[in-house]
């Protein structure tokens, strides 16, 4: 079951309030060819109250201590 998107996040020492989120978009891939371990990431597209848009993912589920990572900014 995917996690939910964050309600807020801090990037470059600024607290951003999320007003819209699309996702998750689940991406599964192997780190190395032939490796039995697979990585699953749930990506979200976020829009903040300032109108900025970001593409983020969590490295592992929240219950397992996962952290959010910024993958990119959307134009």
Say whether pLDDT at 16 is over 90.
Answer: yes
Q: What is the pLDDT of residues 64-75, one digit of tens each?
A: 778 899 999 997
Average pLDDT over residues 38-64: 88
Looking at residue 69, its pLDDT comes to 93
CA-CA distance, 18 to 61, in Å (whole number)? 19
Q: What is the pLDDT of residues 21-31, one digit of tens each?
A: 999 998 887 65
Looking at residue 66, its pLDDT comes to 81
Instruction: List phi, psi (to 5°) of 64.
Output: -100, 10
CA-CA distance, 72 to 59, in Å (whole number)? 15
Report DSSP state, residue 36: S
């Amino acid at each position: 079951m995917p996690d939910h998107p964050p309600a807020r996040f801090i990037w470059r020492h600024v607290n951003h309030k999320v007003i819209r989120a699309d996702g998750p978009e689940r991406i599964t891939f192997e780190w190395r060819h032939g490796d039995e371990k697979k990585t699953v990431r749930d990506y979200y597209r976020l829009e903040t109250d300032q109108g900025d848009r970001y593409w983020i993912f969590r490295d592992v589920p929240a219950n397992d201590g996962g952290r959010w990572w910024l993958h990119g900014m959307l134009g």
